């Protein structure tokens, strides 16, 4: 599997809206640290905000993701979104139809004419096809749309698709999963590993929705300038160091 991780040195970030704040969750959208999936109650985050490795390993097994390969582990961002939706909608257990998919499995599903995208977030261990117990999937669809945070698909059946990719929504008429035109990395994204960071902590970013390798990365990156972000701009535009082994 090609290396997807890009690391940025953040040693100079000591005061910002992204700075670590005690026991605050690492993501803007977060649940209570416990998920119920396939009738299993899985606590993946401790009260002090740290992640519980034993709970995460169990969660990865449920979603059939490879814990032993850090690049293929379940996305923590996705896990937190799942938890948040379950808590806010006061749902019962998630029933999981499909979690992590290997690229080979995803290609096989596409060859069979199934609803599987070329650059599926399932391949990134950041998506699931699910039912939320006690909640109509149409309601889940509308709620996640309103969050404007991630991906939600509803095919007017029992299940819905949810992922931690870009904010978007679709149904069976607009998914375009049957399109065989090569995407040539047109939907590639770069996503941070957390939303909140400790001062001096290294920021990791992961390339997702990659359809063609290799990809090139400029070793010099800069913060983009920002306007009217809570009436302040915590990040002046400036070069920062980066490393991307194997890119």
Secondary structure (DSSP) of 62-96: HTT--TTSGGGSPPHHHHHHHHHHHHHTT---EEE
CA torsion through residues 66, 68, 72, 78, sign: positive
pTM value is 0.82
Distances (CA, A) of 71 to 57, 110, 149: 14, 23, 22
- What the block records as the tokens of 183 is 């995407």
C-alpha–C-alpha distance, residues 93 and 113, integer Å: 29
Rounded CA separation 93/35 (Å): 8
The pLDDT of residue 203 is: 87
Burial class (CB in 10 A: 0-12, 13-18, 19+), 214: exposed
Residue pair 134/98 in contact by the 8 Å Cβ criterion? no
Whole-number pLDDT of residue 17 = 39
For residue 7, the model assigns a pLDDT of: 53
- Distance between CA atoms of residues 99 and 97, nearest Å: 7
Q: Which regions in the chain score pLDDT beneath 50? A: 9-21, 228, 235-240, 246-247
Q: How would you classify the pairing of strands 127-132 and 94-98?
A: antiparallel
How far apart, in whole angstroms, are the C-alpha atoms of residue 32 and residue 86?
10
Q: With contact defined as beta carbons under 8 Å apart, do 20 and 201 qualify?
A: yes
Neighbours of 101 (CB within 10 A): 21
DSSP 104: H
Q: What is the pLDDT of residue 191?
A: 92
* Cα of 194 vs its chain's centroid, Å: 10
Report yes or no: 179 and 146 within 8 Å, Cβ to Cβ. no
Give the span between the Cα atoms of 215 and 205, in whole angstroms. 14
Contact 93, 128 (CB under 8 A): no
Question: Could you give the angle at the alpha carbon of 193 between the alpha carbons of 217 and 213, nearest 5°?
Answer: 35
- What is the pLDDT, as a whole number, of residue 11? 35
Q: Give the pLDDT of residue 14.
A: 32
Distance CA 128, CA 197 (A): 27
Contact assessment for residue 13 and residue 213, using Cβ atoms and an 8 Å cutoff = no
What pLDDT, on the 0 to 100 scale, is given for residue 174? Answer: 86
User: According to the model, what pLDDT value does residue 68 have?
Assistant: 93
**C-beta of residue 190 within 8 angstroms of C-beta of residue 204:** no
The pLDDT assigned to 185 comes to: 86
What is the pLDDT at residue 79? 98
Please report the pLDDT score of residue 9 as a whole number: 46
Residues in the chain: 247
């Amino acid at each position: 599997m090609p290396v997807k991780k890009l690391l940025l040195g953040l040693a100079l970030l000591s005061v910002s809206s992204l700075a670590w704040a005690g026991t605050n969750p690492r993501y803007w959208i977060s649940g209570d640290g416990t998920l119920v999936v396939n009738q299993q109650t899985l606590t993946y985050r401790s009260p002090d905000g740290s992640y519980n490795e034993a709970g995460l390993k169990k969660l990865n097994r449920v979603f059939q993701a490879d814990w032993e390969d850090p690049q293929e582990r379940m996305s923590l961002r996705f896990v937190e979104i799942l938890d948040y939706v379950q808590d806010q909608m006061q749902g019962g257990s998630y029933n999981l139809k499909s979690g992590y998919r290997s690229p080979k499995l995803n290609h096989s599903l596409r060859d069979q004419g199934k609803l599987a995208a070329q650059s599926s977030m399932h391949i990134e261990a950041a998506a699931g096809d699910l039912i939320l117990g006690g909640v109509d999937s149409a309601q889940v669809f509308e709620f996640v749309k309103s969050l404007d945070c991630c991906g939600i698909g509803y095919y007017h059946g029992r299940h819905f698709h949810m992922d931690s990719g870009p904010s978007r929504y679709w149904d069976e008429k607009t998914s375009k999963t049957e399109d065989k035109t090569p995407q040539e990395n047109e939907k590639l994204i770069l996503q941070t590993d957390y939303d909140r960071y400790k001062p001096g902590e290294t920021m990791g970013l992961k390339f997702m929705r990659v359809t063609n390798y290799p990809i090139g990365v400029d070793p010099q990156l800069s913060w983009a300038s920002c306007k009217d972000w809570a009436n302040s701009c915590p990040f002046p535009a400036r070069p920062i160091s980066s490393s991307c082994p194997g890119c």
